[in-house]
Chains A and B, each alone.
Chain A
Amino acid sequence: MRPIRSRLAISLTVFGGLLLAALIVAPVVGSTSISLLRVFDRSVPFADNLDAQIFFIARLPRVVAAALVGAALAAAGVVFQALLRNPLATPDTLGVSSGAALGAMLAITFHLDFRIAGLPAIPLASFAGSLFALAVVYALATGRRRGLSTTVLLLAGVTMTGFLSALTMFTQYLANFTDTFRTVRWLMGMLDVGSYEPIVVVLPMLVVAFAMFATLPRALDLISLGADAAAARGVNVPRAERMALLSASLATGAAVSISGPIAFVGLVVPHLVRLFVGSDHRLVLPAAALFGAVFLIACDLVARAAFAPIELPVGIITAVIGGPFFLWLLVRSSR
Chain B
Amino acid sequence: MLRASGVSFAYGRARKGRASDPPAAAAAHLRSAVVLDDVCLNVDRGELVGILGPNGSGKTTLLKLLGGMHRPTAGSVTLDDRPLAEWSHREIARRIAFVPQETIAPFDFSVLDIVLMGRFPHLGAFALEGPEDLAIARRALQATGTAPFEGRAFSTLSGGEKQRVVIASALAQDPQLLLLDEPTASLDIGHQIEVQKLLQQLNADQGVTMLLSTHDLNLAAALCRRLVLLKDGRVLASGPTEQVLTPPAIRALYGVDADIARHPATGHLTVVPIGRA
Residue positions of A touching B, CB distance < 8 A: 1, 3-5, 8, 81-82, 85-87, 214-215, 218, 221-222, 224-226, 228-229, 231-236, 274, 278-280, 282
Contacts of B108 in A (CB 8 A): 274, 278-279
| Interchain CB contact under 8 A, A228 and B134 | no
| Interchain CB contact under 8 A, B120 and A222 | yes
Given contacts A234-B94, A279-B109, contact A226 B104 (CB under 8 A): yes
| Interchain CB contact under 8 A, A8 and B128 | yes
| Interchain CB contact under 8 A, B69 and A228 | yes
Cα–Cα, bound, A154→B231 (Å): 39
Given contacts A226-B100, A233-B173, A235-B89, contact A278 B110 (CB under 8 A): yes
| Interchain CB contact under 8 A, B69 and A224 | no
Among the listed B64, B106, B118, B129, which residue makes an inter-chain contact with A4, where contact means beta carbons less than 8 Å apart?
A: B129
| Interchain CB contact under 8 A, B113 and A232 | no
Given contacts A228-B64, A228-B69, A231-B69, contact A278 B106 (CB under 8 A): no
Whether B97 sits at the interface, judged by CB under 8 Å, is: yes
Contacts of A87 in B (CB 8 A): 106-107
| Interchain CB contact under 8 A, A225 and B104 | yes
| Interchain CB contact under 8 A, B121 and A224 | no
Among the listed B89, B103, B113, B130, which residue makes an inter-chain contact with A280, where contact means beta carbons less than 8 Å apart?
A: B113
Contacts of A224 in B (CB 8 A): 105-107
Residue positions of B touching A, CB distance < 8 A: 64, 67-69, 89-94, 96-98, 100, 103-110, 112-114, 117-118, 120-121, 123, 125-126, 128-131, 134, 151, 173, 179
| Interchain CB contact under 8 A, B120 and A278 | no
Cα–Cα, bound, A234→B90 (Å): 4
Taking the closest CB of chain A, its distance from the CB of B158, in whole angstroms, is: 18
Give me the 8 closest cross-chain CB pairs, A-B, nearest first: A234-B93, A234-B121, A232-B98, A279-B107, A234-B90, A231-B69, A233-B120, A85-B106
Contacts of B90 in A (CB 8 A): 234
Cα–Cα, bound, A224→B104 (Å): 9
Among the listed B98, B106, B130, B131, which residue makes an inter-chain contact with A229, where contact means beta carbons less than 8 Å apart?
A: B98
| Interchain CB contact under 8 A, B106 and A232 | no
Cα–Cα, bound, A215→B179 (Å): 28
Contacts of A234 in B (CB 8 A): 89-94, 120-121
Cα–Cα, bound, A5→B134 (Å): 12
Among the listed A3, A221, A232, A274, which residue makes an inter-chain contact with B69, where contact means beta carbons less than 8 Å apart?
A: A232
Among the listed A5, A228, A229, A279, which residue makes an inter-chain contact with B113, where contact means beta carbons less than 8 Å apart?
A: A279
| Interchain CB contact under 8 A, B120 and A218 | yes
Given contacts A222-B117, A232-B97, A235-B89, contact A3 B131 (CB under 8 A): yes
Taking the closest CB of chain B, its distance from the CB of A332, in whole angstroms, is: 12
A-B contact pairs, 15 of them (CB 8 A): A1-B110, A81-B107, A82-B107, A85-B106, A87-B107, A214-B126, A221-B109, A225-B103, A228-B98, A232-B98, A233-B120, A234-B121, A235-B120, A278-B113, A279-B107
Q: How many A-B residue pairs have CB under 8 A?
A: 90
Cα–Cα, bound, A5→B123 (Å): 14
Cα–Cα, bound, A279→B107 (Å): 6
Taking the closest CB of chain A, its distance from the CB of B211, in whole angstroms, is: 13
Taking the closest CB of chain A, its distance from the CB of B139, in whole angstroms, is: 17
Question: For residue A229, which residue of chain B has the nearest CB?
Answer: B100
Among the listed A8, A82, A221, which residue makes an inter-chain contact with B117, where contact means beta carbons less than 8 Å apart?
A: A221
Question: For residue B105, which residue of chain A has the nearest CB?
Answer: A225
Cα–Cα, bound, A81→B68 (Å): 26
Question: For residue A8, which residue of chain B has the nearest CB?
Answer: B128
Among the listed B93, B109, B126, which residue makes an inter-chain contact with A232, where contact means beta carbons less than 8 Å apart?
A: B93
Contacts of B110 in A (CB 8 A): 1, 278
Cα–Cα, bound, A274→B113 (Å): 14
Question: For residue A220, which residue of chain B has the nearest CB?
Answer: B107
| Interchain CB contact under 8 A, B107 and A233 | no
Of the candidates A8, A86, A231, A234, the one having the most CB atoms from chain B within 10 angstroms of its own CB is A234
Contacts of A215 in B (CB 8 A): 125
Taking the closest CB of chain B, its distance from the CB of A244, in whole angstroms, is: 15
| Interchain CB contact under 8 A, A229 and B103 | yes
Cα–Cα, bound, A87→B104 (Å): 13
Contacts of A229 in B (CB 8 A): 98, 100, 103
Cα–Cα, bound, A222→B69 (Å): 14
Given contacts A225-B105, A229-B98, A231-B69, contact A236 B89 (CB under 8 A): yes
Question: For residue B172, which residue of chain A has the nearest CB?
Answer: A233
Contacts of B98 in A (CB 8 A): 228-229, 232
